[in-house]
Structure 1
Amino acid sequence: MSLRMAVLGLLAGLGPASGYDLTQRFDASLAFVWYAQHSQIYPELNRLAAEGLIEVAQEGPRGRKTYAITPAGREAVTRWLQHAEPAPTRRNEGALRAFLLPLLDPAEAVKVLQREAAFYAERVRELQNLRGLADSAPHRFGRHALELGIRQMTAIREWAEWAAQDLAGGTEEVAEKTPESSESAER
């Protein structure tokens, strides 16, 4: 259901687009939260058009089609936003690694957690660099998702730092600190 809503939402929020344009929009915005391949988008466009949720707004050279959302499509995405129940993520590789960390020697587990903290610190930096784009987008499209991503990645980074310290017996010298952890401690 979510790919469908992502496509409808992009068309509703950013206007008409071709399949190629939608792939670019996914890569530039939603790729941080919902990955969709080129090969997934085109069949979804065909299904949405067959259901009357989008329509071909323009046909160009070499069969290029530009799609626009219909009133029924806008109603469908609005209804989904207003009434869909939050769904917990059932697959989370980070949580699985956390669960299985006791299989490692504590020093190795600390290294895994430090790598995890560094990874999420970098993701936070990447997302923070996108803030200006979200604030300048029409209707600040994506701003709230961006802030959610920043807060989630920050929380995971902080958890990884805590867990590394916990496994190291709480000693500061074993757990490498990232620049962001020092900033968050100062706040």
Structure 2
Amino acid sequence: MSLRHGLLGLLAEGPASGYDLTRRFEEGLNTVWPAQHPQIYSELSKLAKAGLIEVDSHGPRRRIAYRITDEGLAEVRRWLAEVEVDHSFRMDTLLRSYFFWLMEPEDLKRRLGEELAYFERFAGALREHAGSKDRGEWGTSARTRAQRVGIEAAIRVNEALAGWARWALEADLMSDENFGNAADRDASAVGTQGEAPAGQ
């Protein structure tokens, strides 16, 4: 995804100003594609020059609302249907995990506990939001249905990350003196199971 296609997708819903679009990013898209106010205004200018959006109206305090053009709608549809998906993934939490060996044990446990609480809390909030859509509180339009699909993905990702943080806390691999000997332990367990109990 690129910021320009995210903006085109939002403008396909109807005219909006830079402020409106910034708010929509903060409320819905910021978890998957963060965008700051200056970035959005800069991209809107580029989209207008490219003929993908145009001015819809002028409001107080130099507020400008934009609407998508036919060319812009064709472009966002082309991106959705034809452009190969970029599966690159950046996440601060997982980057840090590669360097857990540099942390003190108590600091690591605290950090993992914080991550677990965050992902559980966020997944819960998303689940509540999904429930309101399932009850029809947001209508039944195609846009609402697509948003419900996206929310479910976010729920499952955050639940999976909560499960990862819980596993990391419970496994405590950084303090496990037997780490790396799983094969030996498994072989020992198999051998023990195959032995007849004493006295037989």
- Asked whether the two chains share a fold, i.e. TM above 0.5, the reply is yes
Give the SS at the match of 1:29. helix
Aligned to 2:51: 52
Aligned to 1:130: 129
Q: Shift of residue 107 of structure 1?
A: 4.3
In 1, the alpha carbon distance for the partners of 2:159 and 2:84 equals: 25
Please give the root-mean-square deviation of Cα atoms over the aligned residues, in Å: 2.2
Aligned to 1:176: none
Alpha-carbon distance change, 63 to 105 in structure 1, aligned in 2, over 3 angstroms = closer
Aligned to 2:3: 3
Kindly name which structure, 1 or 2, has the bigger radius of gyration based on alpha carbons.
Answer: 2
Amino acid at match of 1:163: A
Percent identity of paired positions between Structure 1 and Structure 2: 41
Aligned to 1:174: none
Which moves more between the two structures, 105-114 or 47-56?
105-114
Q: Is the 8 A contact 1:57 1:67 kept in 2?
A: yes
Aligned to 1:153: 158
Once the two structures are superposed, the pairs formed by residues 1-187 of structure 1 within 5 Å of their partners are 2-12=2-12, 14-131=13-130, 132-133=132-133, 136=138, 138-139=141-142, 140=144, 141-167=146-172
Q: Residues 59-94 of structure 1, C-alpha deviation per residue, up to 9 Å, x if partnerless?
A: 233432211111111111111111232323353211
Q: How many residues align?
A: 169
In 2, the alpha carbon distance for the partners of 1:3 and 1:78 equals: 15
In 1, the alpha carbon distance for the partners of 2:119 and 2:18 equals: 31
Amino acid at match of 1:81: L
Any unmatched runs of 5+ in structure 1?
A: 171-187
Amino acid at match of 2:11: L
